[in-house]
Amino acid sequence: MLDINLLRTNPELVKENIRKKFQDEKLVMVDEVVEMDKEYRAAIQQADTLRNQIKVASKQIGMLMGKGQKEEAEKAKEQVAVYKADLEGLATKEDELQAEIRKRMLVIPNIIDPSVPIGKDDSQNVEIERFGEPVVPDFEIPYHVDIMERLHGIDLDSARRTSGNGFYYLMGDIARLHSAILSYGRDFMIDRGFTYCIPPYMIHGDVVTGVMSFAEMENMMYKIEGEDLYLIGTSEHSMIGKFIDTILDESQLPQTLTSYSPCFRKEVGAHGIEERGVYRIHQF
């Protein structure tokens, strides 16, 4: 999430960044945040003024009571009650504004690094470097599931009976290959100085909203019924959450971490897509 000071001081930069990401529908959110932030800060100032007035009036009540001026003291108490009611209303307004600001700030995209080429989709990707040339074999390439079935390495039918579509059993040498590739990837990163991490497979809702939009969350994440816990869609979710509400000293940077976890995804809208293969699956 962007620092709100950037929207206060340079909203046009934020808007230009949104245009570069071809998300023009979010442009209005910048102006909304700027205006709501002004209201929010004004409400805080008003609340501070009221707290000071309550403090002054409370001292005055004590002085009046000490002088026996009970009638004047009662009037001052009535005024304090008005101040407190106004303060309560401002506190509610602050909470509402803060929630609305955060909702929009979570959707406004982060600033693109200047080195990143601008493109609407992958058809506009820029080739930076090429290693070798693509080779098209002179024989028909078997479907990946056919290869796995010939090796008795996958059981989709049993998985459908136990769990439904989008799941599989890996068997024998294919299961071993799966583990070997994970081990290779882990050691590859460790050998390059990264610290290996196995993160929690479930995270709280505030961590989820910190790494993706609510719409993405609804389409991807499985929620644990009755608890504020979601199954992660990738280890990134837990790894980003590791630093929630944390300020790192510059001496602690960079954080060179690599992680592994199973991934759990609803894949909403993917029904019927590549059901025979191991694409669009719910656990991988």
Rounded to the nearest 5 degrees, what angle is found at the Cα of 195, between the Cα atoms of 189 and 196?
75
Domain boundary among 80, 105, 130: 105
pLDDT score recorded for residue 270: 53
Q: Are residues 96 and 186 in the same domain?
A: no
**In a shared domain, residues 99 and 153:** no
100 and 11 within one domain: yes
Please report whether residue 174 resides in a domain: yes
Residue 279 is assigned to a structural domain of this protein: no
Please check whether residue 242 lies inside any domain of the structure.
Answer: yes
**What's the CATH code of the domain at 101?**
1.10.287.40
pLDDT, one tens digit per residue, over 42-85 is 999 999 999 999 999 999 988 888 888 889 888 889 999 999 99
In a domain, 48, yes or no: yes
Beta strand 154-155 with 169-170: parallel, antiparallel or unpaired?
A: antiparallel
**Is the torsion defined by CA of 12, 29, 208, 125 positive or negative?**
negative
Is residue 207 domain-resident? yes
Tell me, what amino acid is at 68? G
Mean pLDDT of 155-179: 95
Tokens for 230? 């979601």
Q: Are residues 145 and 248 in the same domain?
A: yes
Task: Tell me whether strands 169-170 and 195-197 are parallel, antiparallel or unpaired.
Answer: unpaired
Residue 93 shares a structural domain with residue 198: no
Q: Above 60 in pLDDT, residue 242? A: yes
pLDDT of residue 223: 94
Global pTM exceeds 0.85: no
Tell me the percentage of the chain whose pLDDT exceeds 70.
96
Query: Per the omega criterion (within 30 degrees of 0), is the bond before 199 cis?
Result: no
Residue 275 in this model has a pLDDT that exceeds 60: no
CATH classification of the domain holding 182? 3.30.930.10
Phi, psi of 237 (to 5 degrees): -60, -50
Number of domains in the chain: 2
Q: Work out the pLDDT band at 122, boundaries 50, 70, 90.
A: confident
Phi/psi of residue 271, nearest 5 degrees: -60, 130
Judge whether residue 264 has pLDDT over 60: yes
Show the domain range for 30. 4-105
Residue 115 lies in a domain: no
Whether residue 171 is found in the same domain as residue 94 = no
